[in-house]
Structure 1
Amino acid sequence: MSSDNPLLGPRTLPYGLPDYTLIRPEDYLPAFERAFAEHRDEIADITASTDEATFENTLLPLERSGELLGHVTRTFYTVSSADATPAIQDVEERLAPLMSAHHDSIQLDQALYERVSAVHEALPRLDLTPEQRYLVERHHLEMTHAGAALDADAKSRLTQINQRLSTLTTTFEKNLLADTNELAVVFDDASDLDGLTEGELSAAARAAADRGHEDAWVVTLTLFTGHPYLSSLTSPASRRRILDASRARGSRGNEHDNGAVIREIVRLRAERAALLGYPSHAAYITSDQTAGSPAAVEDMLRRLAGPAARNAHREQEELQLVAGDVGPLEAHDWAFYTEKVRAKRYDLDRGALRSWFEAERVLQDGVFRAATELYGITFTERPDIPAYHPDARVFEIRDADGGELGLFILDLYTRDTKRGGAWMNSIVLQSELRGTHPVVVNNLNVPKPAPGSPTLLSLDEVTTLFHEFGHALHGLFATVTYPHFAGTNVFRDFVEFPSQVNEMWMLWPEVLSAYARHVETGEPLPADVVDRLHESEAFNQGFATSEYLAAAWLDQAWHSLSAEQAASDLDVAAFEAAALADIGLDNPAVPTRYSSTYFAHVFSGGYSAGYYSYIWSEVLDADTVEWFRENGGLTRSGGDRFRERLLGVGGSKDPLEAYRDFRGRDAEIAPLLARRGLAD
């Protein structure tokens, strides 16, 4: 079989990158079946041993096991998120329950759990390295957390729940992708798009042509509620059409409606939590995160929500004055009038900044340059190495001493087969045990302009590029022995921290002056504009913080339900309204960043009961920014310390312990409060 299936044969490309040019959709399921069987055999070899369980005969082979399955899994899910053709979607639907069943067969294996538990009990007597000790602790805790200590009947029900959830989350994502594509807004008259730049109109025309619309323009939807074009479109009707389409996704009562899917997901997650001994899914999830409990999360969200809502109301009053007698300010008006206030207060037109943010220069002279200055790494594009899509570009990264570090793949542009938002994932994990170097991917959803036109980024898209590359650096720099700790395999409420830190370099003087050059003249962004950018950093933070906190609270509200509460036939819209009123974030002009029916992070991604992670991690991020400012800024010494003590340890160390090692103390919340305008 291996000679016919490229997923099972030798990996001939550099760094073990799969040769996607050879892989067909029909190759995946047979490869998974082979990988499942191989993994089961490897586990059986461990549990068949009659020798006393040790690190060497239990944990070490456990870490070696599943290599083929990991390879096939990362290869497939890279494509299923970034280029989900109908054939790939079919594979994913069929695969979801199989993956869940296999995962449970390993994590719930009684014989394996007994051997891991025996090593765990013997830990005080064992001569192990810190990484080995932590590996034992994590495997034991994760198997226990997964339900390995349950009796046979409970395990059987747990497996049923997990398989059904895997199907439901896949259905949610498929529904969302289909509805997002269907609801893309078609404009027949260019005057309806007055306010967009030439490049944005070009992208809308290209999107229309790709869908078979002649003499039309199509505005595709972003994953979040709002849309970048709302800040510049002069037509209120056009703004309303875009926002209404965005907010309608997954809730139209059609075949893509996600209401019933959400209710069943929430019910099954609550039932699973009860089966595992927890009062709610949120309690289950946070028990193995740095937060520790839903109470800690709720305390932070409530502490921030009141000041954020008050700031948003003050901002709203100011916007209403600018809007004048057009009537009460509505959600689709907020971004438009915000830019008018920003222009008046700071003499700053964010839309016009696009001309200084040409994508290639931002990448090469901004993102890559900052990384070179901090860490000494260098980048070489490798057009000879094929990626999974023609738009995806491959870069080889080498360390300061010229040694091989890994590959970085950038997939910048939106397309109908790509899910919304932006993300990082790994195709190959670094591991000294397996002798592998990392291969990481960044995906964004930037509209692709017509051929010959430059790609000009908004300020938010520049931020996203720096943010996602922070994740990539985490994946590239983590240097661990065991694959269990590779890359970004850290607690969910810590994983956003390195990416948020990397955003700081976007406006750092040496970096900004290198990449913010006018696309036609090459002139740098004027110094007075830079000053005004810095002055306006806290502007509109009432809105930004409120919309984020509203989404984080919705996530917690759904997942704080007990099994009994979740079993009732909840109305999604009514539940949302009550939850947002409870925390005081029910301002109609400030909609939640994600409504439930298109909240992919929590209903089809890995952030269920964990969307709070962004602001939880931002406490560490803001405190780290202060450290860099106090210690010379963009320097190799600062970068090397951050790399060695935080990024480089991957998941091989308790994250808060790693932070204390870097910072010399626990993080303080004051810098975050100041950044968000919440200090008072």
Structure 2
Amino acid sequence: MTSDTFRNALFSLQSRQNLAAASALAATIVVGAVSSAAEPFPANQPFSTNEPAVNTSFDLSADNPFSSPSPLLFHTPAFDIIKVEHFQPAFMAGMKQQLAEMETIASQKDAPTFDNTIVAIEKSGALLTRVRNVFSNLTSAHKNDALQNIETELAPLQAAHSDNILLNRRLYERVARLWDSRESLKLNGEQAEVLKQHYESFVRAGAKLNDEQQARIRSLNEQLSKLETKFEENLLAISKERAVVVDDVKELDGMDAADIAAAAEGAKERGLEGKYLLEITNTTRVPVLSSLNNRSLRKRVWEASAFRGLGRDGGIDNRPLILEIAQLRAERA
């Protein structure tokens, strides 16, 4: 996504969830299980999971693919049945569900323990994690106008959701009590690190600030979520606009046949039949530069990449956004 638009303060929790999802997907690819005709996980090969096997979603139709864990191997997303219209309802239900789970944790009468607080937080948001992992990967690799519109609308909502968790004083107090007594909890190395990450996430998000300061933090996060999403939208538009069109295949000397075919297909998709399109990727240097022998074409590609923050003829300019984002981030820090 882009903005995967949750704040950096939730990075520790999300990175572990995303790593688990990525590992599962990689393993699935290795065994050849990812395909549009993938079979449900065989009944004689039980798969252990912490996710609920039944639909526990909030206000989410049971026919939404995200309402329960995928039956495919390693819960690989069922891309053949996931549609654009499934994302927003799943996000809304997922955020509502996770906030309810956090409220249950925060309102407990029992004294905080690693299990009833940290483990409970770790296990929260199963629905939101399912939809977010799929959506963020799609918007990173295959964004279209429909997904971009959803991303734009969800950005401030997800920022507010993050704040509602990390600025929850009762939730923070439970985590802080565990942190303060960590030496007596007899935690192993992994548990100690998880506790540390959660405590630091709350503190860095502003859990210890007063009401006025927290209100300002919420405002900054909302503004940043919108600006960062707009920046990514602009970057995508500029990258498409600055893609280099080549008329003569001879100019592509040095590229292998597969890359030339891909360039021809890319041009065809844009209505440029018979031409070749070299797309600008968001890297320090466009990979194709290492194989092109034509100096003039290399220059065109390099210039298109070097100025991908600016649209042609001044149409789109990301520089004011960069400045505003930097100023707001500096204030938040």
Partner of 2:330: 270
Q: Report deviation, 1:195.
A: 4.3
Residue 236 of structure 1 is aligned with which of 295, 311, 320?
Answer: 295
> What root-mean-square deviation, in Å, do the aligned CA atoms of Structure 1 and Structure 2 show?
2.0
Q: Report deviation, 1:138.
A: 2.1
In the aligned structure 1, how far is the partner of 2:178 from the partner of 2:95?
26
Partner of 2:158: 99
Residue 257 of structure 1 is aligned with which of 293, 317, 324?
Answer: 317
Q: Name stretches of at least 5 consecutive residues in structure 1 with no aligned partner.
A: 274-680
Deviations 1:193-235 (CA, angstroms, capped at 9, x unpaired):
3444444433332222222212222222232343344345444
Q: Report deviation, 1:132.
A: 2.2
User: Structure 1 residues 50 and 266 mapped into 2: Cα distance closer, same or farther (>3 Å)?
Assistant: same
1:181 aligns with 2:240: yes
1:148 aligns with 2:213: no
Deviations 1:416-450 (CA, angstroms, capped at 9, x unpaired):
xxxxxxxxxxxxxxxxxxxxxxxxxxxxxxxxxxx
Size of the aligned set, in residue pairs, is 273
1:217 aligns with 2:255: no
In the aligned structure 2, how far is the partner of 1:61 from the partner of 1:201?
51
Partner of 1:59: 118
Partner of 1:30: 89
Contact 2:238 2:310 in 1 (8 A): no
In the aligned structure 2, how far is the partner of 1:64 from the partner of 1:242?
46
In the aligned structure 2, how far is the partner of 1:164 from the partner of 1:119?
33
Match of 1:4, SS state, is coil
Contact 1:32 1:72 in 2 (8 A): yes
Which amino acid in structure 2 is aligned with residue 261 of structure 1? L
Q: Provide the TM-score with structure 1 as the length reference.
A: 0.38
User: Structure 1 residues 52 and 79 mapped into 2: Cα distance closer, same or farther (>3 Å)?
Assistant: same
Q: Provide the TM-score with structure 2 as the length reference.
A: 0.76
Mapping 1:260-409, distance limit 5 Å = 260-273=320-333
Mapping 1:379-528, distance limit 5 Å = none
User: Structure 1 residues 127 and 211 mapped into 2: Cα distance closer, same or farther (>3 Å)?
Assistant: same
Q: Report deviation, 1:7.
A: 1.1
Mapping 1:5-16, distance limit 5 Å = 5-16=64-75
In the aligned structure 1, how far is the partner of 2:182 from the partner of 2:288?
57
Match of 2:195, SS state, is helix
User: Structure 1 residues 122 and 194 mapped into 2: Cα distance closer, same or farther (>3 Å)?
Assistant: closer
User: Structure 1 residues 71 and 185 mapped into 2: Cα distance closer, same or farther (>3 Å)?
Assistant: same
Contact 1:2 1:9 in 2 (8 A): no
Partner of 1:283: none
In the aligned structure 2, how far is the partner of 1:179 from the partner of 1:193?
23
Contact 1:96 1:170 in 2 (8 A): yes
Contact 1:35 1:68 in 2 (8 A): yes
In the aligned structure 2, how far is the partner of 1:200 from the partner of 1:123?
55
Q: Name stretches of at least 5 consecutive residues in structure 2 with no aligned partner.
A: 1-59
Match of 2:176, SS state, is helix
In the aligned structure 2, how far is the partner of 1:65 from the partner of 1:256?
40
Contact 1:2 1:8 in 2 (8 A): yes
Q: Report deviation, 1:164.
A: 1.6
Q: Report deviation, 1:154.
A: 0.7
Deviations 1:537-570 (CA, angstroms, capped at 9, x unpaired):
xxxxxxxxxxxxxxxxxxxxxxxxxxxxxxxxxx
Partner of 1:124: 183
Mapping 1:524-535, distance limit 5 Å = none
In the aligned structure 2, how far is the partner of 1:195 from the partner of 1:75?
36
Partner of 1:171: 230
In the aligned structure 2, how far is the partner of 1:58 from the partner of 1:197?
55
User: Structure 1 residues 231 and 144 mapped into 2: Cα distance closer, same or farther (>3 Å)?
Assistant: closer
Contact 1:89 1:174 in 2 (8 A): yes
Which amino acid in structure 2 is aligned with residue 55 of structure 1? F
Match of 2:261, SS state, is helix
Match of 1:169, SS state, is helix
Which amino acid in structure 1 is aligned with residue 78 of structure 2? D
Percent identical: 39
In the aligned structure 2, how far is the partner of 1:48 from the partner of 1:55?
16
Contact 1:80 1:89 in 2 (8 A): yes
Partner of 2:127: 68
Q: Report deviation, 1:10.
A: 4.7
In the aligned structure 2, how far is the partner of 1:133 from the partner of 1:235?
56
Q: Report deviation, 1:271.
A: 0.6
Which is greater in Rg?
1
Partner of 1:656: none
User: Structure 1 residues 55 and 205 mapped into 2: Cα distance closer, same or farther (>3 Å)?
Assistant: closer
Contact 1:225 1:243 in 2 (8 A): no
Q: Report deviation, 1:176.
A: 1.3
Contact 1:179 1:256 in 2 (8 A): yes
Which amino acid in structure 1 is aligned with residue 329 of structure 2? R
In the aligned structure 2, how far is the partner of 1:81 from the partner of 1:232?
25
Partner of 1:678: none
Deviations 1:461-505 (CA, angstroms, capped at 9, x unpaired):
xxxxxxxxxxxxxxxxxxxxxxxxxxxxxxxxxxxxxxxxxxxxx
In the aligned structure 1, how far is the partner of 2:307 from the partner of 2:131?
36
Match of 1:84, SS state, is coil
Match of 2:302, SS state, is helix
